[in-house]
Amino acid sequence: MFLTKQLRLVLQSTIIVAVLAACVGATILYAGVNESGGEFGVFGSPGTGLPGEFGVTYDFITESTVDTFVDTNQINFFRVTFLMERMCPLATGLGSTFNETYFSEYEDAINYITVTKGAYALIDPHNYMRYNDPSSQPNSGSIIGDTTDPNAATTEQFQEFWTELANRFVDNPNVVFGINNEPHDMATSLILQNDQAAINGIRSTGATQLILAPGNGFTGGHSWTQVTGANDDPSSEWLNQIVDPLNNTAIDIHEYLDEDFSGSHDTCTQPGPTNLAALTTWLQENNLKAIVSEFGGSNDPTCLELVPQLINYLSENDVYIGWSAWAAGPFWGTNSPCCGPEVGSLEPGQLDEEGGPNGYTTVWQAVIQPNIDLSDLKRSGVSSLS
C-alpha cells in the first residue's frame, strides 16, 4: 500500500516537530539503520551453513548502500550483525580463537563504515546470548553461562571472546560494542553476569568506546520493569548493577510497535511513549542512557502515526542518545525483515516483488527520514554517551 499525499504531509509535519525537539535537547547522537546479513544461511538442521561462504551464504554490507545512507540521508550509525558460531568455530568453541577469514570480511565492512565513511558502527553478535547452534534462532543453542548445560559456553569464555574482539578494534574510535542481541528466557542475574564479563573483557584491552548492554525479554523497552519468560526477573532489578570503570555503557533497547512487540505485523498498535514510560523513569533514576537499536514499522497508516511518535519521544527525552531501524542488508531482496510480508527491506535500490518501491522508499524515506535535519549528530570523536 502506497502513501497518499495527505498522509505524507501529516507524517512530515510530525517528524519536523521531532527534529526541532531533538535540536533543543540535543539528545540523539546516533541515528541509523541495521545491516543484517552476517547471520544468514544457517536455518535448518544443526550445522547448516557453518562456516558458510561470503557473498553466497552471508554478507555484511553493500558499500553503495552505506554511501547512500551517509551521503544522501546523512545518518551516522550502522548496526552490523554477525554470528558467534562463524567468528568462533564450534571446533574450538567460544573464546579467543577466531575464524580469521570471517573476521577479516567483517572487519572490512566495519572499516568501510567507520574509516572510509566516517560513521559509527555498532558491533552486533546476533546470538540471543546463546552459542553452539543457530539453526533455529532465537530458541536454539545453549545459553551462555548456564552451568546446568554441559554443552554451554561459560561466562569466562564469553569474556575471552569479548577481550579478543575488543582488542582487534581498540584503536577504532568509531566502533560501538554491542554485547549481544536480544537475550531471552534465561535468568536475568545471568544476563548481568555475562554483560559484566563482556564489559570487563572490553575494558581490559584499554578500549574506551561506548558499550551497549542488553536486558532480558528480547531486551524490550516495554517489558523492562516486568517479569518475562518463565518468571524471569525484570531487567530493571539487575541491569542497574552494571559497573563500567569509564562510565561509558548504555542500555540496549528494542521496541517494535505491533500487537505483540515482535515486529512481524504490518499494523502498529503499541504507542511507544506509553510503553517506554517506565523504562524512561528507570533510566532517569539510575542516571543511565539508552539506544533503541531495533525498531520498525510498515507504511500502514497506523505506523505513519506511531513510528514518528516514537522518534519524537526519543528526541524529547535526554536519556535516549540514539536509534537504528531494522533493517537493510545485501541479501534481503524482495523479502521483508520486519513489519509484514509486503514491506520489503530498507536496502536502497531493491524493489518489491511487483517491481515497485521497497521499504527504503515506503518506510525509510516516507516514515523515518523526510525533512529530518541530521546535521547535529555526532560526527567525530570516540563513541560515547555525549
Catalytic residues: 182, 294
Which residues sit opposite 35 in a β-bridge? 80, 328
The CB density around residue 290, as the number of other CB atoms within 10 Å, is: 27
Burial label, 226 (beta-carbon count in 10 A; 0-12, 13-18, 19+) = middle
Q: Can you say whether residue 282 is alpha, beta or left, with left for phi > 0 and alpha for psi between -120 and 50 degrees?
A: alpha
> How do beta strands 77-82 and 120-125 pair?
parallel
101's CB contacts (< 8 A; 6+ apart) are: 51, 54
**Inter-residue contact 352 to 344 (CB < 8 Å):** yes
Distance in angstroms (rounded) separating the CA atoms of residues 384 and 175: 10
The CB density around residue 211, as the number of other CB atoms within 10 Å, is: 26
Cell of 191: 544476563
Burial label, 17 (beta-carbon count in 10 A; 0-12, 13-18, 19+) = middle
The per-residue b/e assignment along 98-136, b for 16 or more CB within 10 angstroms, e otherwise, is bbeebbebbeebbbbbbeebebbbbbbbbbbbbbbbbbe
Identify how many contiguous H helices and E strands the chain contains and give both numbers.
9, 10
Burial label, 385 (beta-carbon count in 10 A; 0-12, 13-18, 19+) = middle
**Inter-residue contact 194 to 145 (CB < 8 Å):** yes
**Inter-residue contact 143 to 96 (CB < 8 Å):** no
Distance of CA 175 to the CA centre of its chain: 13
The secondary structure of residue 270, as a DSSP letter, is -
Distance in angstroms (rounded) separating the CA atoms of residues 39 and 206: 28
Distance in angstroms (rounded) separating the CA atoms of residues 32 and 55: 24
